[in-house]
Amino acid sequence: MDSTRPVFDQLNKSCLDRQLPVDIWRSSEHLAMEERGDKLSIFDINHKKPPTLAEITLQLTDSNVKSSDDVKVVDWISDGIKAENDQWVSDIISYLLFY
């Protein structure tokens, strides 16, 4: 523990210098440790991140190219808008959970 203390202190100082929400992270940690259950998901570093807008666009484009049906522009645009909305919702939820 003593050997990691200087690095830990340096990391904390760096976070504070960048004005990152360290206090909020600490309170989220304490809440998770007290309430357990779903609150512990903040410690899950292997959670699947939502796809980026570029990945979603690529998926939409690939699925339309491979399709033998006629491309329905309205459906394609609708899928794109939904994907973009899903990305925003996911980003907002992530922000609320971690900040």
pLDDT at 23: 83
Among 9, 25, 46, give the residue marking a domain's end.
46
Residue 2 clears pLDDT 80, i.e. is over it: no
User: What's the average model confidence in pLDDT over 26-48?
Assistant: 81
Is the pTM higher than 0.75?
Answer: no
Q: Look up the domain containing 70 and give its range.
A: 48-99
18 and 7 assigned to the same domain: yes
The H or E element spanning position 33 is helix 22-35
In the chain, what is the straight-line distance between the N-terminal and C-terminal CA atoms, in Å?
27
52 and 92 assigned to the same domain: yes
User: What's the average model confidence in pLDDT over 41-58?
Assistant: 79
pLDDT, one tens digit per residue, over 62-99 is 755 555 555 567 777 778 888 887 777 777 777 667 66
How many domains does the chain contain in total?
Answer: 2
63 and 81 assigned to the same domain: yes
Q: CA angle, 4 as apex, 25 and 11 as ends, to 5°? A: 40
Q: CA angle, 96 as apex, 4 and 28 as ends, to 5°? A: 40
